[in-house]
């Protein structure tokens, strides 16, 4: 009852906030022609009207000394914990930009291709348990796969102790792409985990198979088992490579960003048990220019993306803005774009994207993950090793 009352109060508060000024006649931020000839299923599904942040912003590079960072979370004291692809963590002190020595203790990580130590999440009781959950590409018999592990951050913050693998998203495959790998705890202390379908045409149909954990969103307990009442850990099926995952703080809705091939990057609202279509349907085409499967963008029985990008931006980590510091950003969704080299800001109303902005485009960086800090700032890591802070100018 208390959780329900709190959520209702948050929804009321959000509704009372002034909405950003959006002119539906504004052109979309995307000015390049699409890669495909597909038409959207509804008007707001792609190329929403552009809008711009009116608040004066200060952009700072806190550090450029990270090594292929992939995921980040905030500790209770305001420092940031960051995964690095090669298989370790570092802690960044925002006060002076200092970066700790690498923190190891993760076993079985392969960092070939798109693999490595990938996302992370703090246990709901982290301040007591010191448990950190991670996803990583793990070498096992038959190839490699996306694994979920957990271990304790030592009191001296020098190492990870008692590391264990709690879930393996098989089958294993001797490839180096499409591990997915975002993970987020919900309000019930259960864990959502995303996986990829491993990219190669011979593996794609695994995304449609209920006997495979590839191309899925999974729902796990803290111990790595199916949540009570569910026969399987599989929550949704039919995904290509999900590198963005966030839960809307006002509604509890679960959103993902999903990489397409040429065209067809998707923003999806997850509904338990739904099928999101890959590789049977797609708003993209093969890199060669040929159609995917039968060249269908939609078909009965598959859930439509709320939004898609064509040409692609390669959406990665994402977060909802849940601070009052920058009022016009309240409730907006921020997504790091790799190929697009910007941070996408989306205004979502009634489960539709009504406006889009591109932030930090002038920086020319591949933005891998984003975080909303307790200080109301937007933090973002890049493949080149930078940590950005975007905050309201004093």
- pLDDT digit string, tens, across residues 46-83: 999 999 999 999 999 999 999 999 999 999 999 999 99
Q: State the chain's mean pLDDT as an integer.
A: 94
Phi (first) and psi of residue 189, to 5 degrees: 65, 25
Distance CA 199, CA 255 (A): 22
| Residue 25 confidence class, pLDDT cut points 50, 70, 90 | confident
Go through 47-66 and write b for each residue having 16 or more CB atoms within 10 A of its CB, e for each that does not.
bbbbbeeeeeeeeeebbeeb
CATH architecture of 49-392: 6 Propeller (2.120)
Question: Of the candidates 219, 318, 366, 298, which has an alpha carbon nearest to the alpha carbon of residue 45?
Answer: 298
**Domain ranges (residues) in the chain:** 49-392
What pLDDT, in 10s, does the model give residues 275-311?
999 999 999 999 999 999 999 999 999 999 999 999 9
Tokens 């996302």 found at:
119
Asked if the model's pLDDT at residue 383 lies above 60, the reply is yes
For 238-253, what is the mean pLDDT?
A: 97
pLDDT at position 304, please?
98
Catalytic residues, by residue number, are: 178
Burial of 167 (0-12, 13-18, 19+ CB in 10 A): buried
For 8-13, what is the mean pLDDT?
A: 41
In Å, what is the CA distance from 359 to each residue of 23, 344, 367, 377?
18, 6, 11, 14
What pLDDT, in 10s, does the model give residues 157-188?
999 999 999 999 999 999 999 999 999 999 99
Reading the block at residue 345, the tokens are: 């800001």
pTM for the model: 0.94
Length in residues, the chain: 394
| Residue 23 confidence class, pLDDT cut points 50, 70, 90 | confident
For 14-36, what is the mean pLDDT?
A: 76
For 320-336, what is the mean pLDDT?
A: 98
CB 203 within 8 A of CB 214: yes
């Amino acid at each position: 009852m208390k959780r329900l009352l709190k959520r209702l109060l948050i929804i009321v508060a959000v509704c009372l906030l002034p909405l950003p000024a959006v002119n539906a006649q504004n052109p979309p931020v995307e000015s390049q022609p699409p890669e495909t000839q597909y038409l959207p299923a509804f008007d707001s599904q792609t190329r929403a009207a552009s809008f711009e942040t009116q608040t004066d912003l200060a952009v700072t590079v806190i550090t450029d000394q990270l090594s292929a960072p992939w995921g980040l979370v905030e500790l209770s004291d305001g420092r940031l914990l960051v995964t690095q692809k090669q298989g370790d963590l570092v802690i960044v002190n925002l006060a002076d930009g200092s970066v700790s020595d690498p923190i190891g203790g993760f076993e079985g990580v392969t960092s070939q291709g798109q693999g490595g130590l990938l996302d992370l999440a703090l246990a709901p009781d982290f301040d007591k348990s010191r448990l950190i959950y991670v996803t990583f590409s793990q070498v096992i018999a038959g190839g490699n796969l996306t694994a979920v592990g957990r271990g304790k951050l030592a009191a001296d913050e020098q190492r990870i102790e008692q590391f264990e693998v709690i879930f393996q998203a098989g089958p294993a495959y001797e490839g180096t792409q499409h591990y997915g790998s975002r993970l987020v705890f919900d309000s019930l202390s259960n864990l959502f985990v995303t996986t990829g379908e491993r990219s190669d045409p011979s593996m794609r149909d695994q995304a449609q198979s209920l006997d495979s954990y590839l191309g899925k969103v999974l729902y796990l307990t803290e111990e790595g088992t199916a949540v009570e009442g569910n026969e399987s850990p599989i929550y949704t099926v039919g995904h290509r490579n999900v590198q963005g995952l966030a839960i809307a703080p006002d509604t509890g809705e679960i959103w993902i960003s999903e990489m397409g091939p040429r065209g067809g990057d998707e923003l999806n609202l997850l509904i338990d048990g739904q099928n999101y279509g890959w590789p049977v349907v797609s708003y993209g085409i093969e890199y060669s220019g040929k159609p995917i499967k039968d060249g269908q963008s939609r078909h009965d029985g598959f859930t439509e993306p709320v939004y898609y990008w064509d040409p692609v931006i390669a959406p990665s980590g994402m977060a909802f803005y849940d601070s009052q510091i920058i009022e016009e950003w309240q409730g907006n969704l921020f997504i790091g774009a790799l190929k697009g080299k910007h941070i996408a800001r989306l205004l979502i109303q009634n489960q539709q994207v009504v406006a889009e902005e591109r932030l930090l485009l002038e920086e020319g960086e591949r933005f891998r993950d984003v975080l909303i800090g307790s200080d109301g700032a937007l933090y973002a890591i890049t493949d080149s090793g930078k940590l950005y802070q975007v905050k309201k100018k004093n």
